[in-house]
Amino acid sequence: MDVSRAKNRINELILLLNKYSRLYYTDDISAISDFEYDTLYSELKNLEELYPQLCRNDSPTQRVGDAVSESFSEHVHKNRLYSLDNTYSYEELENWYNKICKEFEKDDIELVAELKIDGLAISLLYNDSKLEVGATRGNGSVGENITSNIRAINAIPLSLSDSKVSVDVRGEVYMPHSSFEKLNDEARALGQKLFANPRNAAAGTLRQLDSKIVAKRGLAMFAYAAIFENDINAPKTHFETLKRLSELGLVTNPNTRLCKNVGEVIAFCKEFEEKRFELNYATDGVVVKVNDYSIQNALGFTAKSPKWATAFKFPPEEMSTKLLDIEIGIGKTGAITPVAILEPVNLAGSVVKRASLHNYDEIKRLGVKLGDTVRVKKAAEIIPKVVAVEVEKRDGSEKDIVVPTLCPVCQAKLEVPEGEVNLYCTNNEFCEAQNEAKIQFFVSKPAMNIDGVGSQLIKTLLETGLINDAADLYSLTKDDLLKLEGFQDKSATNVINSINNSKHPKFSAFLTALNIKHVGKETAELIVENFDTLEKLKIASDKDLAQIDGLGEKVAQAITQWFADERNLKLLLKFENSGVVPQIVEKTVLSNVFVDKSFVITGTLTKPRSEFEQIIKSHGGKTSSSVSKKTSYVLAGDSPGSKLLKAQSLGVKILDEDAFFALLEGRQFDEK
């Protein structure tokens, strides 16, 4: 075959294979068998090997790179990606709509209702129809460049049907239920850990450094928005944009509806609240957008979200199942947590076998018994929680849950400290379960962040006597690990390097890792702002510590008691002798705008909470984890919870993100 004929055949094969992929992923139509598809694919691959100069970037064979990436680089989005405000009731949805109609003096404004896919938002940049960049949403302004992995997803075209179009496409990558089940079946057969739900599986897959793995896992994507570059014929409405994206070869969700008014949107929501369980993908709500772009542009954006769109969230899924048993968990402080062992039930996209009962007061409040049929839901659709008992289903075989008096591990006495509801194991020194939990927390991400030292390794190290406490980790050698089952030279070296690399932690991280009662990450950072060395903290009095805004008497006492304990001082000495030296991070002060001001941050914001904390501190302010009369402002995002209520009761000023940045920049804003 000469070059000319080869070129024509390659072009023909690319056209055919892309067409069949589109039919399969868009319309769920298997136009040809897998064998026939593979035969065409092999022919294309062979021709490209014979004539490498004819290989095109949009060829199906180019979806998977040969190299394994070491990391993902940052990508600054050409156009910012926003998050959405949420509504949880039809009344809120109607209020949002009526406000827009009133502003534009219209009785009705067209809306588009489309299912909210439970996946990961991405941006796809096409230049002259060719896919150039695929990136994660990140913080909306900066994401990660994951182009190699995006190219490995068959549902995403490498080139669009219009050779002249340049467009920034927004989409949601997800894992279909069928792909998820197949992935977990394969993992189960190999004895590997199963993914919790399709969204986690999709996120884990997109984070793979080897795009060959991505290609095998059957990810898909729905395109839901686009910004056309320098196109005088660009669509004038959102619904037209979805149609245009489909014509270009991108997959859009077929369950999308153009609605004349909010009543039709509500009908759509009610329809899919039931139908969603029949779909091959997870959805947790409906995205509602004003259709007309001229109205969208007039409405504009808040600091975090468009004013012309909102998301109606379906009620959290709740299921009934049997309570089979109670398992007692023992935390790093000795706190006893009863955990419900359940008859497995599929809940919000994952199989739930265990659920929190929090404490024995909660068991009493619910009136739950062993053998009861209970209702379980996922708090914030993440943590399984028992919320009610279906008393009418009792048959008399149910048994009362007995409150334990002794620790199930060390048999020490259990007590409820004054002013608390949790039971605690009193054997803080010798309880093996407490010790194991302490070390597990010490190596965790919020604390010392030591990669490679997981719960199973810690258990093995304790059982073999290689360690007795967290400080002993720094005495481990490679030879110690090589004696353990499953370790080879490289894996042992990696663990030892990871431990050694943690010897110079931030002081606040080290303080968090020490497991002092009531001292978490935020409290540790507050302490470090006022006491910048361990030596100063050791001699601090209750009174000194209680003066820190946000600490309080109980926390101050817990800290001084910890440093007064001779066992803890010996532990600190072991760390010091092992070369563990906490570092003070110098604060960068950009201005004094927030000097003498204390902030409490609550709810979901458009950026990680740590970014807002950094802004506050770099402008002279302080942050606290709890609201008090001394609090200057509460920065409240979505779902702020009890901290907002306390702030309102104390008369503390409340800021949303717009007001926060206005305060920072010295602009006027409305106080709440």
Which residues, including other chains, have CB under 8 Å from residue 412's CB and lie 6 or more apart?
A: 406, 425, 426, 427, 431
Where does the pLDDT of residue 66 fall: very low under 50, low under 70, confident under 90, or very high at 90 and above? very low
Please compute the mean of the pLDDT values over residues 383-410 and round it to a whole number.
90
User: Is the pLDDT higher at 614 or at 287?
Assistant: 287
Where does the pLDDT of residue 395 fall: very low under 50, low under 70, confident under 90, or very high at 90 and above? very high
Dist. CA 411–CA 407, nearest whole Å: 5
Dist. CA 553–CA 465, nearest whole Å: 39
- DSSP for 248-263, written as a single string: HT----S-EEEESSHH
Q: What is the pLDDT of residues 339-349, one digit of tens each?
A: 999 999 877 65
Give how far the C-alpha of residue 660 lies from the chain's centroid of Cα atoms, to the nearest Å.
24
- Name, of 1-15, 212-226, 311-325, 605-619, the range with top average pLDDT: 212-226
Dist. CA 195–CA 212, nearest whole Å: 19
Where does the pLDDT of residue 100 fall: very low under 50, low under 70, confident under 90, or very high at 90 and above? very high
Does the pLDDT value for residue 25 go beyond 60? no
Which residues, including other chains, have CB under 8 Å from residue 290's CB and lie 6 or more apart?
A: 100, 109, 110, 111, 238, 296, 299, 308, 309
Dist. CA 313–CA 310, nearest whole Å: 10
Residue 564: predicted pLDDT: 93
Does the pLDDT value for residue 41 go beyond 80? no
Residue 49: predicted pLDDT: 79
Please compute the mean of the pLDDT values over residues 112-135 and round it to a whole number.
93
Residue 348: predicted pLDDT: 63
Does the pLDDT value for residue 542 go beyond 70? yes
Strand pairing category for 373-379 and 318-330: antiparallel
Residue 74: predicted pLDDT: 84
* Cβ 242 vs Cβ 101: under 8 Å: no
Q: What is the pLDDT of residues 215-231, one digit of tens each?
A: 889 999 999 999 998 77
Helix, strand or coil for residue 455? helix
Nearest 5°: the CA angle 645, 646, 652 is: 105
Q: What is the pLDDT of residues 288-299, one digit of tens each?
A: 999 999 999 999
- pTM for the complete prediction? 0.51
Does the pLDDT value for residue 644 go beyond 90? no
Does the pLDDT value for residue 80 go beyond 50? yes
- Domain architecture of the chain: domains with CATH: 3-62 (1.10.287.610), 86-313 (3.30.470.30), 318-415 (2.40.50.140), 432-500 (1.10.150.20), 507-577 (1.10.150.20), 598-665 (3.40.50.10190)
Q: What is the pLDDT of residues 242-275, one digit of tens each?
A: 999 999 999 999 999 999 999 999 999 999 987 8
* Cβ 620 vs Cβ 593: under 8 Å: yes
Where does the pLDDT of residue 118 fall: very low under 50, low under 70, confident under 90, or very high at 90 and above? confident
Range of weakest confidence among 372-386, 485-499, 520-534: 372-386
Residue tagged active-site, from 99, 106, 116, 536: 116
Does the pLDDT value for residue 380 go beyond 60? no
List, as own/partner pairs, every contact residues 239-247 make where C-beta atoms lie below 8 angstroms and the sequence separation is at least 24, other chains included: 239/110, 239/112, 239/291, 242/112, 242/114, 245/169, 246/26, 247/161
Residue 42: predicted pLDDT: 74
Where does the pLDDT of residue 316 fall: very low under 50, low under 70, confident under 90, or very high at 90 and above? low
Residue 67: predicted pLDDT: 37
CB atoms within 10 A of CB 566: 7
Range of weakest confidence among 153-162, 371-380, 475-484, 525-534: 371-380
Residue 26: predicted pLDDT: 44
End-to-end CA distance of the chain: 76
Q: What is the pLDDT of residues 602-620, one digit of tens each?
A: 887 777 777 888 889 888 8
User: What mean pLDDT is reported for the chain?
Assistant: 86
Segment holding 35, helix H or strand E: helix 34-50
Please compute the mean of the pLDDT values over residues 16-29 and round it to a whole number.
63
Q: Exposed, middle or buried: residue 445 (CB in 10 Å: 0-12, 13-18, 19+)?
A: exposed
Dist. CA 170–CA 143, nearest whole Å: 13
| CA count, 13 A, side-chain hemisphere, 576 | 8
Please compute the mean of the pLDDT values over residues 644-649 and round it to a whole number.
82
Please compute the mean of the pLDDT values over residues 360-365 and round it to a whole number.
90
Please compute the mean of the pLDDT values over residues 133-151 and round it to a whole number.
88
Please compute the mean of the pLDDT values over residues 82-99 and round it to a whole number.
88
CB atoms within 10 A of CB 533: 11
Does the pLDDT value for residue 36 go beyond 70? no
* Cβ 148 vs Cβ 135: under 8 Å: no
Where does the pLDDT of residue 1 fall: very low under 50, low under 70, confident under 90, or very high at 90 and above? confident
Does the pLDDT value for residue 65 go beyond 70? no
CB atoms within 10 A of CB 644: 20
116 is known as an active-site residue? yes
Q: Exposed, middle or buried: residue 586 (CB in 10 Å: 0-12, 13-18, 19+)?
A: exposed
